[in-house]
Amino acid sequence: MSADTFVRVAALGDLEEDTPKRVEIDGTPVSVIRTEGEVFAINDICSHANVSLSEGEVEDCSIECWLHGSSFDLRTGKPNGLPATRPVPVYPVKIEGEGPEATVFVSVTQES
């Protein structure tokens, strides 16, 4: 994967801990989540029905779908419980710089 597929999504300081930020990258809705000292990017659409995951709760490195309660591991996109059975795509994240001014990039051209 070439470095230029990464798109700037936010400054690190603009991402509130455990508060998903919904962005669109080349038409792909992505939820960017800062939690447990890391930043994750997961497709914003639940694999069970067409609802936005970024409106759900973040806990234990997972995001819970607000509609029926499946939660998805932010590292793998795999559901931790029913009713969802299929994973949600997750994407590589790159951070350049230091502190709150650091820039967060995500690439949706390849799933991580």
Q: Does 68 bind ligand FES (CB under 6 A)?
A: yes
Q: Which stretch binds ligand FES (CB under 6 A): 5-13, 14-22, 33-41, 67-75?
A: 67-75
49 belongs to the binding site for ligand FES (CB under 6 A): yes
CA distance 19 to 47: 20
**From the list 7, 10, 11, 67, which residue makes contact with ligand FES (rule: CB under 6 A)?**
67
Q: Please tell me whether residue 112 adopts helix, strand or coil conformation.
A: coil
Site membership for ligand FES, residue 65 (CB under 6 A): yes
Q: Which residues of 28-64 are buried (b: 16+ CB within 10 A; e: fewer)?
A: eebbbbbbeeebbbbbbbbbbeeebbbebebeeebbb
User: Judged by CB, which is closer to ligand FES: 49, or 95?
Assistant: 49
Does residue 78 bind ligand FES (CB under 6 A)?
no
Rounded CA separation 104/45 (Å): 21
**Contact residues for ligand FES (CB under 6 A)?**
46, 48-49, 51, 65, 67-68, 70, 83-84
